[in-house]
Every structure is written in structure tokens, then in C-alpha cells.
Structure 1
């Protein structure tokens, strides 16, 4: 609407200033539309540069997620100091290609272990319009803008959290353990699953990897 208001006020200023024969009326209406044009330009500049008509609002969303290969969430440190991390997970259990959540200037990824359920909690702060009037006035000029957000990946107890390198080591270990279990025909499926979980827990507890010159452990809560 602000663009339309500016266009109409400039056109009206031109018409009033040049086509109205009564000088007094021409001056009054011309000055009015000139002021309206200037105010429209200032409002546009204020909206773009200072978010005039907007306010900060924090929005929290929760969505269910699933582990990769039914048992792990992967994390990969990013940057020279490893302070930021990408997180690899599944949006659905049936998903074949995992989703990669990369960190950004306005986005931080955090992993919280031993949660009650596997879910992604996104807490974002946005510039939003104060009311419908400002939204109608500036909506076509500038949309809602993300300021910053934190993505917290909450994972259940028993879900492994590790780097891709650790996942490869774990996979190799599980293959070796699977061969060993196959040699024991008396072991039931329930016993095999229990033993697999035991190996996973032991591996998770002992997993350590030196990355970017620092010791990077499993826990990053």
C-alpha cells in the first residue's frame, strides 16, 4: 500500500499544483500532497532500515524427528574451532536420505540428550508487524524477517549421538559383533537385541575423538 500511496500523492501533487486554477486551493492541496509524499518516503526508509511498524516476536515450534538408521543422531563440528555444528537426522523414520541442519549466522544448532522424546524445538526471534494496519501498509515492501534462532535437537535416552567418523567405527564394531553372535545359535533374537544395545551403550560412553586440536566427546548438552 505504501507504494500506491506514494504514487498517488506524487501524481496528486503534480495535478493540484499545475491544473487547479484557484491559486489558494492549488497551494493548499499541493502542499498537502507534497507533505504526504515526503512522509511516505520517510516511512518506507524507516521500515527498511529501522523496522518502523514492526516489533520483535519469539516463536517456538516443535516437530518430531527420527534417528538415522533407527539409532543415531550425527553431529559434525564446523569451523576452525568446532564451536558450531551441523546435525544429521531424519524428519521421518521412513526417510531414506538424512536431513542436514547446517549452522548459519542467524542459526545455532544444539543437541540435548536423554530427553523424553525425539523432537526438534526451534526457537526463533523475528521482526513482525505490530498490527494489520502496518502489515497492509508495508507488507509488499518487507516481509517478516528472522533475527536469530536456536534449533535444539532433543533425543531420547538410548539414541547414539556421534560424529560421522564415530558412526563408521561403530558400524564396523557392530558388524564384528554380529558375526560373533551368529556363531552362537542358542542366542535368541531378544538376547541379541539386548547385547546390541549393551555394545551401543558401551561404545557411546567410551567414544572420544580429537577434532580441530581439541577433545570432542559424545555429550554436547
Structure 2
């Protein structure tokens, strides 16, 4: 039995490795990846409605177990930069972060790319674009090409998170809408939507956050988005 079978990935679609020439995604296993992920320079959680986590045990219990493993709609992958294989002495290369799906629905043939937690050390390289591209291929390709043949892939971002919005649009996502007050941010978050809560709000000390919704659908994929994504993945810089 493989380690992913032992862990029992609770995802509504098959959990498997995804790989390009330069990046590999593998289902995130707490026993295998949590300590290593926590040891690398951590990404910012400022715009996210969860985290940061003070300890690796908190990361496992509050994020991996409570948010990912508990939901059939969620899946997290460890992201490896294969171009670092010679430096690390490992075929998979260096652990660069994590990425995954949320709000996945087998009945509606849809999923959202989420949990984009790429270490600052690997940002502005080929890693993020290849990781996103692998998820898009898995979601939108037909089964004979190894995909799920989903109809819709979603991306959400804070309106203030320009790097996230630019990354999505660069990969072919199209803006669809603006959701106001969609998240109550955890205590200590420095970035919300910049607007005050009304008197009598039950959580007056917690910021609110808006979201911009983008999507890339099967017809976009077949009409040029796949070629665009492949070209971006093939770039070396």
C-alpha cells in the first residue's frame, strides 16, 4: 500500500502525482512533507483567511487535518522544483511549497485552485506557473490525456493582492465578479478590505475581506488557453 493510500486522501477526485519537466506535484502527506514545508522560508499569509501557523503541529491540526483532509472538496499537493535535483541529490529536487484545490465538485465538474503557498525562495521563477499549469491540465484535459474533463476552474484573490490577480490572468483566467465582505479574517491579519465594520458587528475586532472571482473554463481551454499555458510552462525565465 502506498503512503497516500495509508493516509487516505479524502478527495472527490483521484489523488495522484502531476509532473512537468521542471516541477512535480505530489499529494501532501503530513508524515512526509509537513516538517520540510515548515522548515523552508514561509510565504505570506496576509491575504489568506487562514494562517499563519506558529508550529508545525498547529499547521497539521488546524490546516492539513481540519481544512484539507476533513473536506472531500479539498486537496493539497507538495510542490517540488526538479531543476534543483543536482543541488539536493534527490530526483524530485527541492521542496518549493504547496498548492491545491478547494470547492471541488464531481457533480458540477468544477474546482478552485487554492492554497498557493510557494516559498519566497521560489517565487518569480518557473515554479508557480508550472504548478498552476499542472493543476489546469489535470482539471481540464480529457480523460484520455490524464485529465478530469472539468468544465470550470476558479481562482479567488483579494482585490488588493495584485500579484495573485496578475498570476491568474497571465495563465488565462478571466475576471467574473467582485464579492464584497465574503471573508471574516482571523485575528491579527493586517489586510482586509479597508472598510470599517458597523456598530454592533458581532466580530468588531476582525477585518472583512472582499474577493475577485476569476475562471478558466473548458471552452477557454480548448480555444487557446491550453496553448498559452503550455507556452508559459515552457519558458525558462
TM-score (norm 2): 0.20
Instruction: Please tell me whether Structure 1 or Structure 2 has the larger radius of gyration of its CA atoms.
Output: 1
TM-score (norm 1): 0.21
The structure with the largest helix share of the pair is: 1
The structure with the largest strand share of the pair is: 1
